[in-house]
Structure 1
């Protein structure tokens, strides 16, 4: 039987369970991510968001359940995790093979606006620049699934806005499926097609965000969605106004 486009998934998770020292962090979690879909994942601290990301990235193999990921997977973490003794270009090309690897890495740096920093050392970069290099390193592999583990949280407010737009531009150009882990409800609503809330080890709530980008925080639909998501997270929306 032919597979319909609507049935295609870049990631499929069924019955995912993960325990740490007798504590169940993920408890029979199910999740689908479609190709090109931008999904954000919210949850209280310790709810298992980063654990799920690590499992999808293949960095945690102790979980039980079914995990299927189609194509290449790339990760950008909260800390850029650049190798300090390698220059920027060498960090981006890290792990790539073939005669075109360096050209691809240079092109990826150009996409994030850092073509002039190819020979720089990581310690000379600002926080925003380092995170841009991290994104270039992830996207140079043309992943089917891009995992973002709170990559904006250490950035100042203005830099965060600029990197938000950069991520949207790169996503529109390359169209990977994206799973963004964040604590920031507004960030999730401004960026994602769909926002999930993780609670008690499972996806407890899902909200679609059917608004064109760019989005504005004070749009009435976003205000309503924000209040609902905050309540799901155990926060009184009136206390955050």
Structure 2
């Protein structure tokens, strides 16, 4: 797959409510081209709602939205079709005579070049998530949306996937929004970490240092993010 630089994303005054409650309440944000942004927030804060709106899966929101045409999503559940092979899952929806070869290259990039003919039910959780990433990247998206894609994986597999996503992002440079509950994951991967609360962005943090980052050096920043999330009391000793 040839590299493709992402496009900017702009949101102004975004509002989305459910049952009389505003989950997103006049939200403003912008992602620069090729930027890797992580979004943190408590459960129910609207993180996944925002992602679905950016993906075009929720069209009930009001406000201004400027999103590039090429958008791909990888969810926490890989959502592979069990009656299709791994290769077929990746090239599903692609056009052109070379779609099989395109899918093969994508699978090779995520370390699964030898699993093209395997069935999804024979894959481990990490392998299935790699297929999901290959399927998202094979379309060379300008915007890649990741909705807690590592949440169901064990700790060691999650660390491996962090390295893979970082490498793929550096190679293809889409604009990325990662929705996650994991502060360490956000600090390890993102250029910028945003905190969503009460329907708006209430915190913005820029981790220092080149990837992979040293967690010890990020301890103070981690503490500030925990305060933004309301986990640590500012008045605590």
Query: TM class by shorter-chain length?
Result: over 0.9
Aligned to 1:107: 105
Count of residue pairs the alignment pairs up: 229
In the alignment, which residue of structure 2 is the partner of 1:227? Answer: 223
TM-score (norm 2): 0.94
Partners of 2:12 and 2:29 within 8 A in 1:
yes
1:25 is displaced (CA, Å) by: 0.3
The answer on whether the counterparts of 2:107 and 2:131 sit within 8 Å (CA) in structure 1 is yes
CA deviation map 1:97-130 (0-9, x unaligned): 1112111111000000001100011010000000
What SS does the aligned partner of 1:142 have? coil
CA deviation after TM superposition for structure 1 residue 10, in Å: 2.2
What's the offset of the Cα at 1:176?
Answer: 0.4
| Residue 186 of structure 2, aligned match among 185, 188, 193 | 188
Change (3 A) 1:237 1:103: farther
Counterpart-to-counterpart distance in 2, 1:31 and 1:16: 9
Given that 1:197 and 1:206 are in contact with CA atoms closer than 8 Å, whether structure 2 keeps it comes out as: yes
Shift in alpha-carbon separation, 1:195–1:154, aligned structure 2, 3 A:
same
Tell me if structure 2 keeps the 8 A contact 1:40–1:195: yes
- Cα shift at 1:34: 1.1
1:84-103 aligned at under 5 Å gives the runs 84-103=82-101
CA contact (8 A) 2:7 2:143 kept: no
Contact 1:48/1:198 (<8 A) preserved: yes
Q: Could you tell me whether the CA contact under 8 Å between 1:127 and 1:155 is conserved in 2? A: yes
Aligned-partner SS, 2:63: strand
Deviations 1:27-70 (A, max 9, x none): 01011111111100000100000000000000000000111112
Contact 1:10 1:71 in 2 (8 A): no
Q: Tell me, which stretches of 5 or more residues in structure 1 are unaligned? A: 1-7
The alignment's TM-score, normalised by the length of structure 1, stands at: 0.93
Alignment RMSD: 1.3
Q: CA deviation at 1:71?
A: 3.4
Give secondary structure in 2 for the equivalent of 1:115: coil
Q: Secondary structure at the match of 1:17?
A: strand
- Tell me the residue number matched to 1:27: 25
Supply the distance in 1 between the matched residues of 2:215 and 2:48 (Cα, whole angstroms): 26
5+ residue gaps in structure 2? 1-5
Provide the residue aligned with 1:14 in structure 2. Answer: 12
